[in-house]
Amino acid sequence: MKLYDYASLSFASLKERKGRTIGAILGVMIAVIALSLALGIGQAFQNIFEERLERTFLANSIFVTGGKGFTDADLAYFGNIYGVRDVFGVAVRNVRIAQQKGEVTATLIAIDPRWIPQFIGVNSLQDFIEEGTSDIKGLGVIVGNDLWKDPDTGTKIRDVGEIVTVSVAGRSAREITFYIVGLGASTGGFRGMGANPDNSIFMDPDAFFTYITKRRVYNLAVVVVNNTEDVKYIIDEIRAVAPQGSRIFSPVAMIQQVSIFVTSLQTILALISSVGIGVTALWVFDSMTISVVQRTKEIGILKAIGYRSRDILLLFLLEAIFISLIGSIAGLTVSMIISNFVGIPIFGSMVLKADLTPTIVFLAVILPILTNVFAAFFPSRRAANLNPVEALRYE
Amino acid sequence: MSDKEFILIENVWKIYKMDTIVQEALKGVSFTVKKGEFVSIMGPSGSGKSTLLNIIGGLDKPSKGYVEVAGLRITEVSNDAELSRYRNEMIGFVFQLFYLIPRYTALQNVELPLIPRGVPPSKRREMALKALKIVGLEGKANSKPNQMSGGEQQRVAIARAIVGNPKVILADEPTGNLDSKSSEVIMEVFKKLNKELGVTIIMVTHNLELIWYCDRVIRLSDGKVIKIYNKEEYEELLETFIKR
Ligand SMILES: Nc1ncnc2c1ncn2[C@@H]1O[C@H](COP(=O)(O)OP(=O)(O)OP(=O)(O)O)[C@@H](O)[C@H]1O
Ligand SMILES: [Mg+2]
């Protein structure tokens, strides 16, 4: 095949100029590593927000915290705001539990079971209850995954029907014994308002306000809206009626802000790495220009023995293609190794690893080729259009 | 086209214009070359010999007049592909300074003209080895140009010129850089190509000793043909030079 022959001619000429060739390949490599990692990390961020946060932080919820807490009257105010579908209160206490391996802290969450999916971000209660029921009347509780399963070995340390004793600290310190009606499935940790469902005990609010505290005050009010587009307006309305010192937190707004941040970060990183590709292209342009001058006589010879202008154009462009291809494959290999072994820890438990999607791989290969072929085109065309007599006469 | 007018050069002019200076390199050159003929072009430096050869070989265009080779009016062809094909298939160039490509071996250099033709590698190798054998260098196939003597390099260049079975060899002072012994070897190769393969050869030379290999000598001076000498007139030609 003719193309193969031209490729081997180009390759031979690249090999002859090892220094410059390796320099250019390294340039492409570094640019490709920077570009693919920048895009890959951006992609990984995006994945986390799309797959985890958006699902778990419930886009249609607005969380209101702080102040002295919320009474049923406060909740009723929130419920009257136009566009609000539901409002529920959640009361939370830190407790300690004696486990086999010693005492651990857990979160006692008082919540009507029908709101649990909305609160922790699962589709239905069935998705959350791994064993037993969600029927948490009285002192019946659902125990989070990490509390009934040994986090290290995965063996069952508590079961439905057993009792669990927790100690509540604070002003009204006491010990309370619950009985387990349900075991929670693993939710993957960190959720919503700082509570980790896997490390929580879910109990009936009525029982909570009987046995834990007498004051019917919720630490957290969750406002569920009909339409996420109304979130901004509803936040303003909540602010108007909420008690002094309340903090309003909306996943939608947060996700939007983080997305904007991530997208701009990705764009900036991609732009910076594109500068690398641009610099490499300049290098290729420069190196090709020198090469054409140095090889003027050779071009004259090739023309004299019957090489067409387009053959010579191809020979030179192939050099740029080789440099780009070798550089981007080597760069991608390094990127893949880096993305597999190096992670950026975020949110404590999560590790961000560059996600080299097929699109990114494609871009990292095609972009240097396109820019370098573009850069090489002008010197190559000059080579192709050289007058053979003058080229042969060139010293 | 008849074999008698295999190469037809008709009133060829080449005028270089640089700013105000006008340089007339060829001023109405006309002659014909028969098929299978071995002619030599002689003349002082700057008389237009190389220019003429380049025009015949399709590397350069005349300002006026035309050249026909095997019935093709090559000076009128402007299409790059057609012109390249002509250079590739009809013509074999041999230059004074060999013009081999240093990074390739003798064999690879000889194979070069076959690549744009699309000859497959094994066939290419076979043809190149055959050409090297014709010039007596089959043993040096894998040597690089810098590992060979000038005479050997020129023979590799001749192998490259003939590998594609051209009808015409255009040699511009092929022995200009060689000692008399190497020159003789080169001339014997040309003679063989001419006699055995019937290749038409036009050779530019300064060396009077070499004219005996040629059927005719075309004397060029100041861009014009002064006289064309047959073999019988060679003594006369030699005398004019000795007189000087
Ligand atoms: N590109 C050019 N521009 C201007 N003048 C040129 C050019 N090429 C050749 N000439 C002139 O044309 C004339 C003929 O040149 P040519 O190279 O054909 O001579 P030659 O007979 O081959 O000489 P030599 O024996 O030295 O090789 C010379 O006067 C030369 O200076
Ligand atoms: Mg000359």
Distance B237 CA to ligand 2 centre (A): 21
Please name which of A121, A126, A61 lies closest in space to residue A88, comparing C-alpha atoms: A61
Q: Please list, in sequence order, all residues whose beta carbon lies within 8 angstroms of the beta carbon of residue A167, skipping any fewer than 6 positions away.
A: A95, A96, A97, A173, A174, A175, A176
Whether the predicted pLDDT of A249 surpasses 80: yes
Across chain A, what does the average pLDDT equal? 87
Give the pLDDT confidence score for residue B166 in this predicted structure. 96
Q: Chain A within 8 Å of B165 (Cβ-Cβ)? A: no
d(CA A60, CA A250): 8
| Residues with a beta carbon under 5 angstroms from ion ligand 2 | B 50
Tens-digit pLDDT profile for residues A313-357: 999 999 999 999 999 999 999 999 999 888 877 765 667 888 999
Among the bound ligands, the one closest to the CA of B54: 1
Give the pLDDT confidence score for residue A153 in this predicted structure. 84
Describe the crossing of helices B150-162 and B121-134 by its angle, rounded to 10 degrees. Answer: 130
Q: Determine the average pLDDT of the residues in A167-196.
A: 79
Written as one letter, the residue type at B72 is: L
- DSSP per-residue codes, A246-286: EEEE-HHHHHHHHHHHHHHHHHHHHHHHHHHHHHHHHHHHH
Q: Are B156 and B140 in contact (CB under 8 A)?
A: yes
CB contact under 8 A, B116 and A392: no
A389 neighbourhood in chain B, CB within 8 Å: 54, 59-60
Give the chain A residue nearest B105 (alpha carbons): A12
Give the pLDDT confidence score for residue A47 in this predicted structure. 78
Whether the predicted pLDDT of A57 surpasses 60: no
Q: Are B56 and B67 in contact (CB under 8 A)?
A: yes
Query: What Cα–Cα distance (Å) separates residue A61 from each residue in A224, A248, A256, B96, B224?
Result: 5, 11, 14, 87, 98
Domain boundaries along the sequence of chain A: 3-54+256-393, 68-243
Residues of chain A above pLDDT 70, percent:
94
| Predicted confidence pLDDT, tens digits, chain B (244 residues) | 678 899 999 999 999 998 899 999 999 999 999 999 999 999 999 999 999 999 999 999 999 999 999 999 999 999 999 999 999 999 999 999 999 999 999 999 999 999 999 999 999 999 999 999 999 999 999 999 999 999 999 999 999 999 999 999 999 999 999 999 999 999 999 999 999 999 999 999 999 999 999 999 999 999 999 999 999 999 998 888 776 5
Query: B29: which strand partners?
Result: B12
Q: Please give all residues whose beta carbon lies within 6 A of any atom in ligand 1, as ranges.
A: B 16, 18, 23, 25, 43, 45-51
d(CA A248, CA A233): 12
Two structure tokens written together for A26 = 């390294």
Written as one letter, the residue type at A180 is: I
Mutation target among B84, B123, B172 for the A interface, most CBs of A within 10 A: B84
Whether the predicted pLDDT of A376 surpasses 80: yes
Give the pLDDT confidence score for residue A218 in this predicted structure. 93
Backbone angles phi, psi at A222, to 5 degrees: -110, 120
Mutation target among A11, A294, A301, A305 for the B interface, most CBs of B within 10 A: A305
Whether the predicted pLDDT of A55 surpasses 70: no
| Angle B211-B216-B218 from CA coordinates, rounded to 5° | 90
Give the pLDDT confidence score for residue A53 in this predicted structure. 59
Give the pLDDT confidence score for residue A193 in this predicted structure. 59
Tens-digit pLDDT profile for residues A8-48: 999 999 998 899 899 999 999 999 998 999 889 888 887 77
Q: Provide the chain B residues 185-224 that lie in CB contact (below 8 A) with chain A.
A: none
A383 Cα to chain B: minimum distance (Å): 14
A305 neighbourhood in chain B, CB within 8 Å: 87-88, 93, 112-113, 160-161
Mutation target among B49, B101, B173 for the A interface, most CBs of A within 10 A: B101
CB contact under 8 A, B59 and A304: yes
B80 neighbourhood in chain A, CB within 8 Å: 308-310
DSSP letter for A13, please: H
Tens-digit pLDDT profile for residues A61-94: 888 988 788 999 999 999 999 999 999 999 998 8
ipTM above 0.90 for this complex:
yes
Q: Chain A within 8 Å of B81 (Cβ-Cβ)? A: yes
CB contact under 8 A, A306 and B57: no
Does residue A239 or residue A348 have the better pLDDT? A239
d(CA A102, CA A143): 17
Banded model confidence at residue A252, pLDDT cuts 50, 70, 90: confident
Q: Determine the average pLDDT of the residues in A217-229.
A: 88
């439905």: which residue's tokens? A160
Give the pLDDT confidence score for residue B244 in this predicted structure. 55
Nearest-CB residue to B84 (from A16, A301, A307)? A307
Query: What Cα–Cα distance (Å) separates residue B226 from each residue in B28, B54, B221, B223, B241?
Result: 11, 20, 6, 9, 14
3-state secondary structure at position B167 = coil
Give the pLDDT confidence score for residue A191 in this predicted structure. 56
Nearest-CB residue to B88 (from A6, A305, A310)? A305
Torsion sign over Cα A40, A44, A50, A54: negative
Give the pLDDT confidence score for residue B1 in this predicted structure. 63
Nearest-CB residue to B101 (from A5, A301, A306)? A301
Give the pLDDT confidence score for residue B88 in this predicted structure. 97
Whether the predicted pLDDT of A298 surpasses 90: yes
Distance B95 CA to ligand 2 centre (A): 9
Longest dimension (CA), chain B: 55
* Residue B181 host element (H or E): helix B180-197
Give the pLDDT confidence score for residue B55 in this predicted structure. 97
Give the chain B residue nearest A384 (alpha carbons): B80
A28 Cα to chain B: minimum distance (Å): 26
Give the pLDDT confidence score for residue A231 in this predicted structure. 84
d(CA B111, CA B154): 15
């932080």: which residue's tokens? A57
Residue A71 zone, left/alpha/beta (φ > 0; ψ -120 to 50; rest): beta
Nearest-CB residue to A306 (from B54, B60, B87)? B87
Banded model confidence at residue A232, pLDDT cuts 50, 70, 90: confident
Please name which of A60, A57, A89, A59 lies closest in space to residue A242, comparing C-alpha atoms: A89
CB contact under 8 A, A306 and B88: yes
Q: Chain B within 8 Å of A303 (Cβ-Cβ)? A: yes
Please name which of B31, B56, B40 lies closest in space to residue B216, comparing C-alpha atoms: B40
Whether the predicted pLDDT of A272 surpasses 80: yes
Two structure tokens written together for B151 = 């005479």
Whether the predicted pLDDT of A54 surpasses 70: no
What does the radius of gyration of chain A's CA atoms come to, in whole angstroms?
Answer: 32
3-state secondary structure at position A215 = coil
Among the bound ligands, the one closest to the CA of A393: 1
